[in-house]
Amino acid sequence: MEKQPNLLFSNPQILNSRSYQVTSQIFSAISHGIGLLLALIGTGLLINKAFQFQELNRLIAYTIYGLSMINLYFFSTMYHALYFTKVAPVFRFFDHCSIYFLIAGSYSPFCLIALNNSLGWLIFFIEWLIVALGLYCEIYKRQWLKKYSTYIYLSMGWLAVFIVYPIIQSVSIAGLLWLLAGGLFYSLGTSFYRFDHKYVYFHTIWHLFVLLGTACQFISIYFYV
C-alpha cells in the first residue's frame, strides 16, 4: 500500500492542489471571521467601560485599540474570503497593513491610560512612527519588506520590554502576564506565518495564534487597564 503523505509536513502536491487552496482559504476566512465578531463585541465592551469612567484619554485609547482589532480581522477575513477574485490583492495590501495597526493599537491603552506620562507618549509615538514607515514600505519597498516584515512586527511587539516595570506598577503583575502571554502567542505564531507557503495549513494555525494573542491582550486591557 502506498504511504500517504503526512499533512504536517511539506507536500507540494497537496499545497498546489485546488482543493487544498480552497479549503485553506475557507478555514482562514472562518477563523478570522470569528475574530471579527469577537473584536466588535470587545470594542463595544471597552467603549462602555470608557463611558463609565468618563475619561477622555481612556475613550481615545480604547477606541484606537478596538478599531485596530476590527480593522485587522475585517481585512483578513475579506482577503481570504475573496482570495480567488480580482480584488484579492487590494485586500491583501490592507491585510498586511492592518498588522502594524493592531500592534500599535494594542499599545495605546498601556501608553495613554496605564502610563499616561512622557514615557507612555514616547512609546506611543515610536509605535505609530513605525506604522508610518511600515506603510511606506508596503507601498514602495514590497520586495525588501517580504524579507524583514516579520522582524518589524516582532520588534514593535516586544518594545514593551522597555516599559515592563512601570506597567507592573500600573496594571499589576496579572495584567502584565496576560499582556506577555499575548505577545508570546503572536511571536510563536510568526513561525507558522513565515513558512505557511511550505507547510499544510500553517496559515490557519497562524490565525489561531493571532486569535489567542488578541484574546490574552484584550483580557489584560479590559480587566487591568
33 within a domain of the structure (yes/no): yes
* Separation of alpha carbons 102 and 80, rounded Å: 18
pLDDT confidence band for 136 (50 / 70 / 90) = confident
Listed in order, strand segments (DSSP E) in the chain are none
Q: Which of 180, 209, 181 is nearest to 193 (CA)?
A: 209
What is the CATH classification number for the domain harbouring 166? 1.20.1070
CA 123, 217, 214, 58 dihedral sign is negative
The model's pTM is 0.90
60 within a domain of the structure (yes/no): yes
161 within a domain of the structure (yes/no): yes
As a whole number, the mean pLDDT across the chain is 90
Number of domains in the chain: 1
Q: Confirm whether residue 80 is marked as ligand binding.
A: yes
Q: Which of 100, 85, 83 is nearest to 25 (CA)?
A: 83
Q: Confirm whether residue 32 is marked as ligand binding.
A: no
4 within a domain of the structure (yes/no): no
Domain extent at residue 183: 12-224
Task: Give the pLDDT confidence score for residue 160 in this predicted structure.
Answer: 86
One-letter amino acid at 114 equals A
2 within a domain of the structure (yes/no): no
